[in-house]
Amino acid sequence: MKRIGGFRRKSRYKMKMSISDKGKLPLKRYLQTFEEGDKVLLKAFSPEQKGLFCLRFHGKVGEVIGNQGSCYKVQIKDGKALKTCIVNPVHLVRV
């Protein structure tokens, strides 16, 4: 049977931006840098689709363990398992 839905299925309220955030995209979010060991919050920035993590991890706190190109490797604890996501810095907020 064919799978129904795509990557952003059932994500209407997670991807919704507040009225104060709408408008011109902040350049500061694109150019921010992180060091290894920094704690970051995974918060999806809906106007940018590149480098988006799986939305099941939205709102989780992880640790930067390195970078890959212009993105960062973030290690997240999902239950008992440690998982690694490759995330664009636009979707990361320093904690």
Residue 66's pLDDT is 97
Banded model confidence at residue 4, pLDDT cuts 50, 70, 90: confident
Cα gap 84→12, rounded to integer Å: 25
SS3 at position 21: helix
* pTM: predicted TM-score of the whole model, two decimal places: 0.88
Q: Is residue 8 part of a domain?
A: no
Q: Is residue 42 part of a domain?
A: yes
For 36-71, what is each residue's pLDDT tens digit?
999 999 999 999 989 999 999 999 999 999 999 999
Q: Is residue 52 part of a domain?
A: yes
Cα gap 38→44, rounded to integer Å: 18
One-character DSSP codes across 55-73: GGGTT-EEEEEEEETTEEE
Q: Is residue 1 part of a domain?
A: no
Q: What is the mean pLDDT of residues 10-19?
A: 89
Number of folded domains that form the chain: 1
Cα gap 43→93, rounded to integer Å: 7
Domain with 85 in it: what CATH number? 2.30.30.70
Give 20 or 86, the one with higher predicted confidence: 86
